[in-house]
Amino acid sequence: MSDLHTVNKSPFEKPSLDTCLRLSKPGSSILLYEDGVYAAITGTTATDKVASALADKKVYVLEPDFKARGLKAERLIEGVEMVDYAGFVDLVDACGKVQAWL
Amino acid sequence: MKFAIQVNEGPYQHQASDSAYHFTKAALEKGHECFRVFFYHDGVLNGTRLTTPPQDDRNVVNNWVELAEKYDLDLVVCVAAAQRRGIVDEGEAQRNGKDATNIAPRFRISGLGQLVEAAIQCDKLVVFGD
């Protein structure tokens, strides 16, 4: 069963996302929440990394955290899926292990 | 599914405690079980009943207490982290000669073994921190 990786750091603050993308296996899921949601928008230096990760991984973003930071759905990278807390729970339920990249 | 939750940050300094609370609440509302919430490092500061946030702000400590009352949650504070940060129950006050206690209702102080046990007993351990 594939694992769920959670990233709660902005890609402009810490290398958590880079580490996660480098070490997570193809087929795994990545949830961006808290400041990690900044990685889910277009037009940044992190956009290409996330967009190319979508080739063999699933990427999700936590909607309440995305909206709390004033980000608009129009700027969401195509292929990144929005989930709420119930969706977060479902992701954990469906995955193998949960790896938090704190 | 049986979850266990680890919280490594205090309230108001970092979002971790809020995220952990919302996740735990959503899991319980979906009918999942929460074996234990373990508060570690600065996370132990979620367990003081003496906090008084402004009335128009969320009360993180009370949120945990109310959730624990509704779902009979086991909220465990790490003893070594609690001693360093002044989170005190009756037993700790007696043992360490303190003149007061501040542990919030529904919280209890115990050891790291409780985290290990939670990790063994649960299906998934979810960690929230900085």
pLDDT tens digits, residue range B50-88?
A: 999 999 999 999 999 999 999 999 999 999 999 999 999
Instruction: Name the packing angle between helices B60-71 and B16-29 (round to 10°).
Output: 20
pLDDT mean values, one per 10 residues, chain A (102 residues): 95 98 98 98 98 98 98 98 98 97 94
According to the model, what pLDDT value does residue B12 have?
96
Q: Do A86 and B30 touch (CB under 8 A)?
A: yes
Asked if A100 and A9 count as a contact pair (C-beta separation under 8 A), the reply is: no
Q: Over the stretch B8-28, which tens digit does the pLDDT of each residue have?
A: 999 999 999 999 999 999 999
Contacts A102 to B, Cβ<8 Å: 8, 127, 129-130
CATH code at A8?
3.40.1260.10
The boundaries of the domain holding residue A72 are 4-101
Instruction: Work out the mean pLDDT of chain B and round it to a whole number.
Output: 98
User: Helix H segments across B1-130?
Assistant: 16-29, 60-71, 79-85, 90-96, 113-121
Q: Is B124 on the interface with A (CB under 8 A)?
A: yes
According to the model, what pLDDT value does residue A33 have?
98
Number of domains in chain A: 1
Of the residues B44, B75, B78, B122, which is catalytic? B78
Closest Cα of chain A to B76: distance in Å? 21
Angle at alpha carbon of residue A31, lines to A26 and A33, rounded to 5°: 155
Q: Residue B48 above 80 pLDDT?
A: yes
Q: Do B26 and A85 touch (CB under 8 A)?
A: yes
According to the model, what pLDDT value does residue A13 have?
97
According to the model, what pLDDT value does residue A1 have?
74
Active site residue B122: no
What pTM was computed for the model?
0.97
Residue of B nearest to A86 (CA): B26
Contacts A84 to B, Cβ<8 Å: 26
Q: Do B19 and A8 touch (CB under 8 A)?
A: yes
Residue of A nearest to B34 (CA): A89
Sequence length of chain A is 102
Residues A48-64 as b or e (16 or more Cβ within 10 Å = b)? eebeebeeebbbbbbbb
Q: Over the stretch B91-120, which tens digit does the pLDDT of each residue have?
A: 999 999 999 999 999 999 999 999 999 999
Q: Do A85 and B25 touch (CB under 8 A)?
A: yes
Q: Do B23 and A98 touch (CB under 8 A)?
A: no
Residue of A nearest to B124 (CA): A97
Percent of chain B with pLDDT over 70: 100
| Torsional class of B110: left (φ above 0), alpha (ψ -120 to 50), beta (otherwise) | beta
ipTM of the complex: 0.97
